[in-house]
Amino acid sequence: MKVAIITLNYNGKKDTLEFLESLSVMRTAEYKLQTIVVDNASSDGSVPVIHDQFPQVDILQTGANLGYAGGYNKGLEYGQIWGADYFLLVNNDCLIKDDNILDILIKTLSLDAKIGLVSPKIYFAKGFEFHKENYTKDDLGKVIWFAGGKFDWDNIMSIHKGIDEVDKGQFNQVMESEIFSGACVLIKKEVLEKVGTLSKDFFLYFEDSEFAKRVKEAGFKVYYNGQTSVYHKVSRSTGIGSGLTDYYHTRNRLIFGMKYGKLRTKFALLREAVKLLFLGRPAQRQGVLDFYLGLKDKSPVVNVSHPLDGKVEYSIKLSIGIVNYNTADLTTKLIQSIFKKESGFDPKKMEVIVLDNGNVDPCKEVIKEYLLKIKYLRNGKNEGFAKGYNKTIRYSLGEYYLMLNSDTEVLKGGLSELIKAEDEFGGEVVLGGKLIFPDRSDQDSAFHLPTIWGAFKEYFLAQKGSYFMHLPKSEAPTKVEGLVMACLLISKKVLNKVGLLDEKSFIFFEDVEYAQRLRQFRIPLYFVPSAKFIHHHGASTKKIGQEKANELLRKSAQNYHGKIFYFFLTWVLKLGQKLGRIKTPVSRWTKDD
C-alpha cells in the first residue's frame, strides 16, 4: 500500500523542517511512503536546507507561487504518477503528534467504500491559540481548532465544531462531516480519479469547501475521526487579519457563493460586496473588484504569475526522461551510456526517469540492475509519445529536463555540454545536441518550420534545408527554428511559460508543434554541436510497422497543418517530386504518397 505525504512550502523553512522532523513519530512499517515537499518558488533558501537535512524527501519546485490549490495539485499529480493509493495532505505548519495517525485514518476510509476522505481532530499548537488568556497552562496543547463541522450556506462560510474548546473527549467520535480541513486530510485515489484535484481558481481559501462539494456530488462521503490528531500553528502562512487573508477570503467567498449559493444568498453577497467596495479595507475592496473583473490568476496582494525576479532553487539540476516502447535493448544501452562517468552524469545532482509505455517489450527486467538508481514508471498501455514524455516531465524534480529517445546514446560530455550551454543562456532557451548515426556519420536534426514557400524552395529551387532536415555547420551553438525531439533540453522556467507537449497527436509532429509554440513565446532554440549523441534513427517507429506509422504521420500532419493547408502543401510536394529538381519520396512534414 503506497501513501504520498504532501506538504506545501512557501518561505516557511523553519515550519517545514519542524513538520518533516515530526513525521518520524509515525509508524509506517505497513506502508510504502513517499514524502513530497512542493515548493512555491520560495526565496528564503528553503530548498537546499530541506534537501540537505531530508535527502529522502522529493522536493517538487513549481517555479512560481501557485497558491494552496495550485501547489497541492502539483503534489497530487506527482503522487498519482508514483502510484499512491492514499494522499495525506498536511500543511507545513502542522506537527504530527500521534504515531498511529496514518493507520487510523486509512482504516477510517476502509469502513465504507463511499468514504472518500477524512480529517483528524486538529489542535492549536501550543502558543498559537486565538485566546491564550482564556486557558490554563495545562490546557495548552488541548485546545481544539477543528473537530469536524458544517457549511453555513446562508452566510457562505465553514463552521468548525469545537473551536476554542479544551478537549475533554467530547469530540472523539468517528462520523460523517459536511466539511474537512485542508490543514490535514487523507484522500483515497478513487476520489481524485473521479473528481479531479483542487480548483486553481481559488488560489487560497475556499478550495477545500469547493472540493468537498464536488466530492459529495460524486457520491463520496467526507469523514472526521476524533480518535487521532495533529497540532496546527494556525495562520502561520497568511497571518491573522492580513491583507492576503482579506483579499482571498473576500474574492473567493464571492466566487464560491455566486457559483453554488441559493438565489437569496447571492443577493445577500451582492449587497455585502457593494458595502465592502466603499467601506471595506483596501484588500477587501480589491478582492471585490477582481471578482467582478474576472481576475482569477493575478492580484496586487501576491504575484502568482510566472516571471520571477529571483533565482528559483531546485534540489536537482537535471532530470533525464526516457520513454521505452518495444526497444528494451536500446533503452538499456542508453541507460548504460548515461551512467558512464564520461557522459557528465552526476548522481548527486541528476536523476533518470524511465517509463515503459505499455506492455510490449518492457525494459524493467533488462535494466533491473539500475532500478535502485532510477525512477521507474509503467503504463498499462502505449499512451503515445507526447503523453509518455509529459508524464516523465510531471514526475521530474530538476531545474532542467532532458528528453532522450530510447534509441539514443550519450557520448562523452554530452550531458555536461548541454548543461553548460543552458547555464550560459540563463535557462531561457531550449537546446538540442548533435545527433550522429551509429557509424559516427553526421545526422540532420534541425529544421525550418514547414511552409509552402519552404517546400517550393527545397524542391524547385534546390535550396537544401529550406523544407527538409539540415545540419548547421557552425561549431558554436547555433540558433535554429526547430530541432528533433530525440535529444532536447528544456528548462523548467521555459516549461512553466510554454507548457508541456501537445497530446492531441499520438506520435509525430510534437517537435514541430513545440517549435512553433516556442516561437510564439519568443523562446529561442539552439543547436549545440559539442553535445553529441548517437541516434538509431526511427528504431521506435519501425516497431509500429510502416503502414501504421504512415497512418499516424498523416493524422498528425493534418492535425498540425489543418485540412486546407495540408491539402495545398501535399499538392506542392507531389508536383515537386514530379517536376522539381529534388526527388524525395516521402516528406517529413506530411505523408504525400
Domain match, 227 and 252 both: no
List the beta bridge partners of residue 490. 401, 430
Same domain, 163 and 289: no
* Same-domain check for residues 224 and 251: no
Are residue 87 and residue 210 in the same domain, yes or no?
yes
pLDDT at 586: 45
pLDDT at residue 204 in the model: 87
Q: Is residue 371 part of a domain?
A: yes
pLDDT over 90 at 570, yes or no: no
Range of the domain at 263: 243-293
CATH number at residue 391: 3.90.550.10
Residue 359 is predicted with a pLDDT of 84
For the stretch 83-95, pLDDT in tens is 999 999 999 999 9
Verify that 389 and 525 share a domain, yes or no.
yes
Q: Say if 519 falls within a structural domain.
A: yes
Q: Domain boundary residue among 212, 232, 252?
A: 232
Q: Looking at the structure, tell me whether residues 416 and 270 fall in a common domain.
A: no
**Are 159 and 252 in a shared domain?**
no
The 3-class secondary structure across 394-426, one letter per residue, is: HCCCEEEEEEEECCEEECCCHHHHHHHHHHHCC
3-state helix vs strand vs coil in the chain, percent to 5: 35, 25, 40
Give yes or no: residues 165 and 193 share one domain: yes
Average pLDDT of the chain, as a whole number: 89
Chain-centroid distance of CA 59 in Å reads 12
Please indicate whether residue 180 or residue 131 has the higher confidence score (pLDDT).
180
286 and 169 in a single domain? The answer is: no
Neighbouring residues of 451: CB distance < 8 A, sequence distance ≥ 6:
467
Examine residue 299 and state whether it is found in any structural domain, yes or no.
no
Q: Which stretches within 92-169 are classed as H helix? A: 101-109
Q: Specify if 110 maps to a domain.
A: yes
146 & 126 share domain? yes
How long, in residues, is the chain? Answer: 593
CB contact set of 151 (below 8 Å; sequence gap of 6+):
157, 158, 159, 178, 179, 209, 212
Q: Is residue 559 situated within a structural domain?
A: no
Q: Is 205 exposed, middle or buried (0-12, 13-18, 19+ CB in 10 A)?
A: buried
Number of domains making up the chain: 3
Whether residue 441 is contained in a domain is answered as yes
Q: Residues 51, 11: one domain?
A: yes
Residues 481-506 have pLDDT tens digits of: 999 999 999 999 999 999 999 998 77
d(CA 311, CA 313): 6
Q: Classify residue 573: in a domain, yes or no.
A: no
Percent of the chain topping pLDDT 70: 84
Element (DSSP H or E) covering residue 551: helix 546-561
Q: What is the pTM of this model?
A: 0.89
Please say whether the beta carbons of 62 and 37 come within 8 A: no
Instruction: Tell me which of 561 and 31 has the higher pLDDT.
Output: 31
> pLDDT tens-digit profile of 330-339?
999 999 999 9
What are the tens digits of pLDDT across the range 152-192?
999 999 999 999 999 999 999 999 999 999 999 999 999 99
- Residue 170: the pLDDT is 97
Position 92 in a domain:
yes
- Structure confidence at residue 454 as a pLDDT band (50, 70, 90): low
The set of cell numbers assigned to 226 is 476524533
Q: Is the pLDDT of residue 588 over 70?
A: no
SS3 string, 442-471, reads: ECCCEECCCCHHHHHHHHHCCCCCCCCCEC
Per residue in 377-434, pLDDT (tens digit) is: 999 999 989 999 999 999 999 999 999 999 999 999 999 999 999 999 999 999 999 9
Q: Are residues 215 and 253 in the same domain?
A: no
Residue 365: is its pLDDT beyond 50?
yes
Residue whose cell numbers read 486546407: 564
3-state DSSP of 34-56: EEEEEECCCCCCHHHHHHHHCCC
Q: C-alpha cell of 350?
A: 541528476
- Alpha-carbon span 542 to 441, nearest angstrom: 21
